[in-house]
Structure 1
Amino acid sequence: MKDKILVLNDNPQEQNIIKNVLGEYEILVAQSYDKALEFLKKYSNIKLVFVDISSRHLNGFKLLSDMYQYPGPQSIILAETTDIENVKEGMKLGALSYMFRPLDGDALKSVMEVHIEKIDEYGFKIFNPRRAFDAVFDTAPIGIAMTLGKCPFVDINYKFLRTNSKFEQITGRKKEELLSLGWKDIITPEDFDEEVENCLKIHSGNCTIEKRIRKTDGSLAWVKMFVVSISNVFSSIPSHICFVQDITAEKMIEYNLIESERSKEVLLTHLPGLAFRCLNDENWTMLFVSNGSYELTGYYPESLLNNRDLSYNDLIAPEYRDRLRNEWDRCIKNHETFKHEYEIITAKGERKWVIEMGQPIYNDQGEPEALEGIVLDITDRKSVELNLRYYFEHDRWTHLKNRNVLEKHLYEDYMKGETVKRAVVGVNLGAMYFITLSHGFHYTQEYVRNIARALESLCTDNITLYNTYEYRFVFYIKGYKDKDEIALFCEKIKSTLDSVLGVERIGGGIGVVEIDKDNEYNVDLILRNLLIASERAVNGKPTEFEYCFFDVEMEVQMNREKDIQNDLNKIATTNRNDDNLFLLYQPIIDLSSNKIYGFEALSRLNTKKYGVVPPLEFINIAEKTRLIIPIGVKIIRKAFGFLKKLENMGYGNVNISINISAIQLIYSDFAQVVMNIIDEMEISPDNITFEITESVYVANYDKVNEIIGQLRLIGIHIAIDDFGKGYSSLAAELGLQANCLKIDKFFIDSIMTTDPDKAITSDIISMAHKLGHYVIAEGVEHELQKKYLVNCGCEKVQGFLFSKPVNKDEAISLLMEMGTV
């Protein structure tokens, strides 16, 4: 069935153009709002709606307003070229684009190809930053070109990366041709004298350049380019974005102003915008004002002449008045032409961006007797520039300045030779990842917005907040007294975050880097060290924040972590059975028979550089980098493989216990992955125990309990590991679907130093039994401890009293020696 296109239009000629050009679609023509609405209700496969807003009886605006009830089709406005304000209003109501009359078949086909492709690809159902950028980029009323290279004009390797249709129109070249060219190929050779100076301007930030370009047909066009240097955090190669305006008409105006004094007033009267002749006084007293004054300012020429109702200075937005005066004074002194952009306030109180171009008129004594020029409306072009710049400099969700701006401010202060004490304080909220897994992306982003607002309350004239990365914020502090003042500020951050994050029970780290002569010149180093400090401050406790000042020892530790991470990454991305990741097995003894009940599988990592790395260290790194998910699967497979080997040897009732990370457990398909491996290896789930720590379920109780329930249904045992070490409550214990409780070694050690009648270990065992759990005591090293546990009714134990963790062969030998339950 063909996709449909709906046309709200009463012009038969235009209807025929649309039908002829878009023959592959079924065209539905409605000559009234009611008929259009009837089609929208009837057909679900309408892809696009053309809405004529010029004929009032068609009620085009009402249809645009009501189309939100039908989220499938997008709309394109049909309008007269004089309907600019109506087009703007229609775009506000959700129109995808617009076309001006007379309707051209080729243009219609091009617009359809662009927008249908985007509708098919994105659907436009949710906001997407890339799509928003594409929409602004492709439909901007000025030319835009993106480039890659140190300098967009003299770098011989420079090419255009991307151009919009307006840029193609201005240059007179097609996109395919432009993408094989660079500015050096289309700018006239005469304009290359200033290129070195222009590149210096670009490297210092942004610059505005005027050039002549040669079109394919040999004609020349003047363009004005606003060039922005774009920072790229993923590449060391610089890039630029150029906003291009065809100013050929303005250049012709300037030429005519110079070459034709006698016909000046006639020419100025018919020019677009406001042409003027004024005195060089404090009010810019107008001696001549063209008829374009009313369209631009809302005031008739007579109102401005000789300051009858108001002066031109009254129209200029107050913050630009001194700047404009200073620029005119400079041009008069140097006998230069004038060009400046600023805002005016119209009769309706609206702000408009304008560009003023002119020159001083001197008398025989060389003194300025008047100023002549023209003022043009550039609001649309300026709006696009400002919107694009905002996206480059701000985080979309929090609207805080981003890393690009922070780097710029740090570098600028270094170049200015700031003498006050400066520091950066980073807030690491990486644990927000768990909230995303539990509640979804949009919930987390709203939460991040609340955090940003709370942190902003700590800002002052000397403290600025930036959102540098996902779940990371940075305060830039200037003019503080000493380290104690920074520490006090970190305490304020902790207090603020506790008040916001208390409900979700997550924590994080706060890092501090003080800026001094050893690091102030290297912004990348400052921010890298800040990341190291904030990562080091993450203490592993789920609901706490700590702060940490950077020092060189942290860098050594960070390099060690990077090396370990690289080893883990190799293990995670290879399918071979890598011996660098191996398991040891510690027997779990049944106290009623003194035989082996099962083994706890304990993972170990062997590295070439550091040898065997403690599990607490490499597991923590794996969790922070999310490598624990693929590595955890490898550990499960290795443990299940040992279990299968035992079953094949006739030990069909030996249990294997595996530690499971929080990230693994709440991963979307963890339970299904486990079930698939069990089916693949043909082992009994009754012989499997997963151990989870209390910290796993404290912050994700409902989600964890749901997954535990799925595992219990297939027969897998669930043990709460290190009980008493964390934050759990009896209420949480009672509701958790666990089989077993493993008592932390702390309570076992206390048996040796505490009066048996006063030790609470027996109370923990009794409580666990009342909750329906069997108990395993960890870290048993003495006969006295074993005897106490037997008397308290503890079912199982493990520890060095019986065996240290051993390899597979030694574990099998223990089985043969001690027997199984």
Structure 2
Amino acid sequence: MESNFGYAGTSAIGVLGLIIVWLVVKYYIKSRMEEQSRQNEARIRTLIKKLRSCNKANHIICNDEKLLGEESILAVFNDMIDHKVEAALCNSKELISLAAELAHLGPWKYHHEKNLFEFDDQFYIIYGTDVAREGSFMTREEYTRNFVHPDDADMVAAEVEKMLMTTERRYITELKHRIIRRDGEVRTVFVRVDVIKDNDGKIQTWYGVNQDITEREIMEAALHNSREMLSLAAELAHIGPWKYHQQVGLFEFDNEFYAILGTDAAREGFFMTSDVYRRNFVHPDDVWIFDKSEVEKLRSVQKRNYSYQFEHRIIRRDGEVRTVAVQGNIIKDADGKIIKWYGAIQDITEQKQAEAALCRQTEKIRRIAYTDVLTGLSNRAHLNEWLEGELEQACCGKSAGGVLFIDLDDLKTVNDTLGHTYGDAIIVEAGKRIEKEVNKAAFVGRIGGDEFVVILPGKRDRQYVAVVADKMINAFCQDIEVCGESFHLSASIGITMYPDDGETAEDILKNADNAMYFAKNSGKNCWKFYDADMQAAAYEKMLLTNSLRRAVENNEFELVYQPQVNIADGVIVGFEALLRWNSPEHGIVSPARFIPLAEQNGLIRAIGTWVLQEACWFARRLADNGWGNIGVAVNVSPKQLCADCFIDSVRDAVHNAGILPNQLEIEITENVMIASLKESISKLEELQSMGIRLALDDFGAGYSSLTYLQQLPVQTLKIDKSFIDMILVAGSKKTIISTIVDMAHLMEMTVVAEGVETEVQLEYLAKSHCDFAQGYLISRPVPEKEALQFLAHR
């Protein structure tokens, strides 16, 4: 058939046709062959009579300007049948490959890093079982042991090793082997495998499809036994063979060809020009494929044996639109003259539909891979790809824009106190509010936790981006109601402009993240544009972290001690040990600055262990001077308490210093419970059983609740300084202190007031029956020598 060089990827005999062949041939081969022979002979002789009675016949069946005889015409049609068989035989292997790829009878994927196959129910149908029985994952060894026929096991193993050892970037292979189904039946499967590796030879994807070809194997063996059977298969498979008569410019079609077009030769005739075929059957949108210039390209190919393939749509006589695949073969003699031009068409509508379904499934998988499950927004993978694309355009001067890095403030408190159900609902609502405040061209994604990113493409104006950021801040200032509860949250936003603030997506997001932290450190609920100073601050933070790593071994830390007194009589009852760092590079560094760094980088455990040891030795020196009844309190970081070795480190510190356990008091804050309340309580109870005293520090500063107080095995409650400051403010707020004291006493706890700085505060605490006080009114934190002197004078 005249055409261009499009690729179809089909073959002459469909798998469905082969199945029909076997079923029919088994019962009707003999009678069908005889009937076909009679029909062919009658049809040919009828045609001869028509041709002899028509002047045009001289131009149709002439060779060297001589009318062919009856025997010659019979030879021509026998030659047509031969070519049908040849086309079918030449392309049966290609058809099997295509059927295995598109049928998806048993898809699977191999996870190389885990040495596991992944199967589903569609795959297990071939093996007479299902996922419920076998599981979704299976090792190579388990698959071989459970299903592969013992005689084929070595062959399968060798093929797998060959796939593993290949150095090709993409390695596609096929094999077949026997299996033993769960019901004991031996079957044959055809396996198509696709292995893709990266530049370093590491496997990226490895997947394939298995198909039960037992019946096909039997049918192929039958087809090879006789030429007549193969000819019958071509007819029954509804393949439409054709031949082109070069001398007269006519196609020759038969009923098998016309069956695909919803008609027959009696209506259309056995011969047809290209124009008539195109006008009667080709879909109008595909007519261009049959352009004469494209035909000339086919004629001009220099190869002596040339095959081509393409697809086009047809409109059947019943009006149905179908898709056919055309395969043609051109054979030339030594002088380049065409001596044969023949081929076949096949209806591939269902295959095209399968391909479309596969594309839809692939797109669905892509959406899943690029979508955040909780919010339905884009995820980090999609963000990186999208932003990289924007930056590529920006490098060419075709694009620019702003990036907003949004972090919800204090959402962790909600998760820790009410559970992740509430937190997740807030995150979903936050995503909706963000989407509402931007235009449709903006990219909105959630990249993890409570962090969102908004990209505003084409927005070079910083003022416009600032307006959008303001709208975001205002959106979060409105209460969020989820699960029947109302929450007031805020957000901190960092802003970068691309391509000015970074050459890569990683740089842009990193700088936006830095800007967001500056916004958070500026009091939260605000936005900040990134600038070079922020990068300098990030660099300084890195230097500070490096210095912090050397601080312990270089003896750069020091403990100072702040006394605690009994409010009733002024007697010293204990000291709180406080950490100080005097760095050679950075000078005196505030704990508020270096403690968070130590927690972020895992250094807090080593520092905390040193603090415990030094505080215990101070307690020992107190006891040696006759003050064994005075305890030393040590603050413990949540990271320390979570460590498996924490209990041992406390026990070792007490034992090595030779003090009584009740001389040491461990102070914890409410956020110590965040990681795992049950585990934290278990460790605290173990410390209590050792005789260690426990105190809850900064009570009221966090999300305080009676639930914590009732569950925690603490003997001391320390009221946060923010409450003590209320004493100096007129109003009813200061009565909260009396309430806290009364509540603690009812729970048999002693109460320590932190941050006492005035006599007025001390007097009010005394009236409220608070037990102990600590603050500048009594003493600032002092080194050990001064603490001992203070104690002696007191």
TM-score after normalising by structure 1: 0.53
Matched residue, 2:194: 142
Task: Tell me the number of residue pairs that the alignment of Structure 1 and Structure 2 aligns.
Answer: 575
Taking a change above 3 Å as real, the CA distance of residues 517 and 142 of structure 1, as seen in their structure-2 partners, is: closer
Matched residue, 1:473: 452
Quote the Cα distance in structure 2 between the aligned partners of 1:434 and 1:651. 41
Matched AA of 2:129: L
Matched residue, 1:739: 715
Structure 2 counterparts to residues 100-111 of structure 1, below 5 A: 103=152, 105-108=154-157
Give secondary structure in 2 for the equivalent of 1:63.
Answer: coil
* 1:532 and 2:581 are equivalent in the alignment: no
Cα offset, 1:747, TM superposition: 4.1
Quote the Cα distance in structure 2 between the aligned partners of 1:711 and 1:344. 81
1:464 to 437, 440, 443: 443
Taking a change above 3 Å as real, the CA distance of residues 764 and 373 of structure 1, as seen in their structure-2 partners, is: same
Matched AA of 2:547: D
Matched residue, 2:32: none
Cα offset, 1:615, TM superposition: 1.2
Deviations 1:55-101 (Å, cap 9, x if unpaired)?
x9xx97443344258999888668xxxxxxxxxxxxxxxxx998699
Matched residue, 1:414: 394
Taking a change above 3 Å as real, the CA distance of residues 547 and 628 of structure 1, as seen in their structure-2 partners, is: farther
Matched AA of 1:474: V
2:472 to 489, 501, 507: 489
Taking a change above 3 Å as real, the CA distance of residues 660 and 292 of structure 1, as seen in their structure-2 partners, is: farther
RCO comparison, higher one (Cα < 8 Å, 6+): 2
Matched AA of 1:476: I
1:559 to 536, 539, 564: 539
Deviations 1:645-680 (Å, cap 9, x if unpaired)?
444555422211122234444556644653454455
Higher helix share: 2
Cα offset, 1:518, TM superposition: 2.9
Whether the 8 Å contact between 1:467 and 1:473 is mirrored in structure 2 is yes
Matched AA of 2:199: T
Whether the 8 Å contact between 2:493 and 2:515 is mirrored in structure 1 is yes
Matched AA of 1:554: M
Name the stretch that deviates more: 61-70 or 373-382.
Answer: 373-382
* 1:776 and 2:749 are equivalent in the alignment: no
Structure 2 counterparts to residues 337-736 of structure 1, below 5 A: 400=379, 402=381, 403-415=383-395, 417-418=397-398, 422-428=401-407, 451=427, 455=431, 458-459=434-435, 461-468=440-447, 472-478=451-457, 481-492=464-475, 510-515=492-497, 518-519=500-501, 521-538=503-520, 547-571=527-551, 577-648=553-624, 650-666=626-642, 670-671=646-647, 673-675=649-651, 677-679=653-655, 681-694=657-670, 696=672, 704-729=680-705, 732-733=708-709, 736=712
Quote the Cα distance in structure 1 between the aligned partners of 2:417 and 2:594. 25
Whether the 8 Å contact between 1:332 and 1:360 is mirrored in structure 2 is no
Whether the 8 Å contact between 2:409 and 2:492 is mirrored in structure 1 is no
Quote the Cα distance in structure 2 between the aligned partners of 1:62 and 1:618. 63
Matched AA of 1:426: F
* 1:63 and 2:129 are equivalent in the alignment: yes
Deviations 1:25-78 (Å, cap 9, x if unpaired)?
xxxxxxxxxxxxxxxxxxxxxx999x9x99x9xx97443344258999888668
Cα offset, 1:804, TM superposition: 1.6
Taking a change above 3 Å as real, the CA distance of residues 673 and 108 of structure 1, as seen in their structure-2 partners, is: same
Deviations 1:339-371 (Å, cap 9, x if unpaired)?
9999999x9xxxx9999999999xx9xxxx999
Whether the 8 Å contact between 2:240 and 2:260 is mirrored in structure 1 is no
Quote the Cα distance in structure 2 between the aligned partners of 1:646 and 1:491. 56
Matched residue, 1:253: none
Give secondary structure in 2 for the equivalent of 1:585.
Answer: strand
Q: Which runs of 5+ in 1 are unaligned?
A: 1-46, 79-95, 116-138, 149-159, 168-265, 280-285, 294-298, 315-320
Taking a change above 3 Å as real, the CA distance of residues 780 and 705 of structure 1, as seen in their structure-2 partners, is: same
Whether the 8 Å contact between 1:465 and 1:475 is mirrored in structure 2 is yes
Matched AA of 2:585: K
Deviations 1:575-603 (Å, cap 9, x if unpaired)?
x6442233211122234453332211111
Taking a change above 3 Å as real, the CA distance of residues 699 and 370 of structure 1, as seen in their structure-2 partners, is: same
Whether the 8 Å contact between 2:494 and 2:516 is mirrored in structure 1 is yes
Give secondary structure in 2 for the equivalent of 1:738.
Answer: coil
Give secondary structure in 1 for the equivalent of 2:555.
Answer: coil
Whether the 8 Å contact between 2:476 and 2:489 is mirrored in structure 1 is no
Quote the Cα distance in structure 1 between the aligned partners of 2:713 and 2:256. 79
Taking a change above 3 Å as real, the CA distance of residues 77 and 659 of structure 1, as seen in their structure-2 partners, is: closer
Matched residue, 2:30: none
Quote the Cα distance in structure 2 between the aligned partners of 1:290 and 1:711. 94
Cα offset, 1:742, TM superposition: 2.0
Whether the 8 Å contact between 1:494 and 1:546 is mirrored in structure 2 is no
Taking a change above 3 Å as real, the CA distance of residues 371 and 353 of structure 1, as seen in their structure-2 partners, is: closer
CA root-mean-square deviation: 6.4
Matched AA of 2:196: I
Quote the Cα distance in structure 2 between the aligned partners of 1:709 and 1:610. 40
Taking a change above 3 Å as real, the CA distance of residues 562 and 577 of structure 1, as seen in their structure-2 partners, is: closer
Quote the Cα distance in structure 2 between the aligned partners of 1:631 and 1:330. 82
Q: Which has the larger radius of gyration?
A: 2
Quote the Cα distance in structure 1 between the aligned partners of 2:203 and 2:599. 39
Matched AA of 1:535: Y
Taking a change above 3 Å as real, the CA distance of residues 704 and 610 of structure 1, as seen in their structure-2 partners, is: same
Matched residue, 1:129: none
Give secondary structure in 2 for the equivalent of 1:147.
Answer: coil
Quote the Cα distance in structure 2 between the aligned partners of 1:426 and 1:342. 49
Deviations 1:539-569 (Å, cap 9, x if unpaired)?
699xx96654434443343333222222334
Taking a change above 3 Å as real, the CA distance of residues 583 and 313 of structure 1, as seen in their structure-2 partners, is: farther
Taking a change above 3 Å as real, the CA distance of residues 691 and 526 of structure 1, as seen in their structure-2 partners, is: same
Taking a change above 3 Å as real, the CA distance of residues 676 and 333 of structure 1, as seen in their structure-2 partners, is: farther
Matched residue, 1:201: none
Whether the 8 Å contact between 2:494 and 2:517 is mirrored in structure 1 is no
Cα offset, 1:708, TM superposition: 3.7
Quote the Cα distance in structure 1 between the aligned partners of 2:151 and 2:422. 46
Give secondary structure in 1 for the equivalent of 2:500.
Answer: coil
Cα offset, 1:785, TM superposition: 4.0
